[in-house]
Amino acid sequence: LNIKMATRNLTKQFLEIRSACKANKSLRSREDSRDDGDDVLLRNKIDNDTYVSARNTLPPAWVDKIQLIDEYINKIQPKIKELNALHSKRLMVNFETDELQQEREIDIKTQEITTLFRSAEKLLQKFSTQGDENKTSAEELKVRNNIQRSNAKKLQSLSQSFRQSQSEYMTKLNAQKSGNDDFKYLDKRVAAPVGDIDVGMTTQQIQMIDDTEELVNQRDEEIKRIAKSIQELAQIFNELAVLVIDQGTILDRIDYNMESAVAHATEGIVQLNKANEHQKNALPFRCIIVLVILIAIMLGILIWKHSGN
């Protein structure tokens, strides 16, 4: 029985980090053997500067969580398609196929998808508390919140699709079970003494009735497992709905910012027109003031001249 779990191949990154670590150790061991105290201090200063510059060039830590959530989403989508194919195959009437094996495959695939949903949900919940809020700018917080809402809506949509698929599968199983219930009256004939059994009832027919009863019991257990899976998905769906506090996404925020920019630009044009008109009207006003002052001076001179005479 092959069980496929969610994995990440980090062998290449591990080998690169290990080789770099060995190179740094060998280099430092050779330098320490011939360097004195001043050289060591100088080298430590250079290493610290390099470390600080490297930290400044690294992306924020929450970017790694976003990439991991995207990986979970990309894994969930094809697994849901595979599970739907298993459902269709299981519902087909085929006496040559091992139904227990099919049920195991469906259970394993369902558990894998549920585990991926749980992991993505936990990452989204931790995502809002990632980093130091005091050192994070308002723009970065806005981007983080928008990305969190966008990913929460994606997971919510996938969870809804998964729940719908599980519900349809359980409905079809119940329909098949109700069809098989018509044969239950034969159980009494099987449980009756041998003398009471009809002569036309062969051993093969009795075995078929036993197989039908076992099949009904298996489907009862499978329906219970599917119902439990739907309950878990409902809980995940509700928790994701809490994360999507409002329906604002990155596009909505961009539209809002564009509308605000257009409004500010329009208001700026109005203010520029007013300033231009004010500037044009200032020069004649100054000329009028100068003329009034000159007239007052001339009147004063005339009055002083006539008063002297």
262 or 37, greater pLDDT: 262
Q: HSE on the CB side for 163, CA within 13 Å?
A: 17
User: Between these two residues, 242 and 307, which has the higher pLDDT value?
Assistant: 307
Return the pLDDT at 274. Answer: 83
**Rounded-to-integer distance, Cα 91 and Cα 12, Å:** 43
The phi, psi pair for 34, rounded to 5°, reads -125, -5
Query: Are 243 and 117 a contacting pair, CB within 8 Å?
Result: no
Phi and psi at residue 133, in whole multiples of 5°?
-65, -30
Residue 140 · residue 128 · CB < 8 Å: no
Nearest to 174 by CA among 102, 91, 104: 91
> What's the pLDDT at 108?
87
What confidence score (pLDDT) does residue 43 get?
53
280's enclosing H/E stretch is: helix 250-308
What does the block give as tokens for 241? Answer: 């709905």
- When mean pLDDT is compared across 24-28, 112-116, 125-129, the lowest value belongs to 24-28
Task: Give the mean pLDDT of 131-155.
Answer: 73
pLDDT score at 174 = 75
Please identify which residue in the block is written with the tokens 């018509």: 182
C-alpha distance from residue 139 to each of 31, 136, 148, 272 (Å): 44, 8, 14, 29
The pLDDT-based confidence of 23 (bands split at 50, 70, 90) is low
**Across residues 2-24, what is the average pLDDT?**
66
Higher pLDDT, 250 or 135: 135
More confident residue, 213 or 62: 62
pLDDT band at 295 (very low <50, low <70, confident <90, very high): very high
Amino acid at 92: M
* 159 or 54, which is more confident: 159
Pair 162, 233: CB distance under 8 Å: yes
What's the pLDDT at 291?
92
Q: Which DSSP letter does residue 97 get?
A: S
Mean pLDDT of 49-57: 48
What lies within 8 Å, CB to CB, of 211 at 6+ separation is none
- Residue ranges of E strands in the chain: none
pLDDT at 145 over 70: yes
Q: For Cα atoms 62, 65, 70, give the angle at the middle one, nearest 5 degrees.
A: 130
Q: Where are the domains of the chain?
A: 10-58, 62-247
Domain 62-247, CATH among 1.10.150.120, 1.10.3720.10, 1.20.58.70, 1.10.1060.10: 1.20.58.70
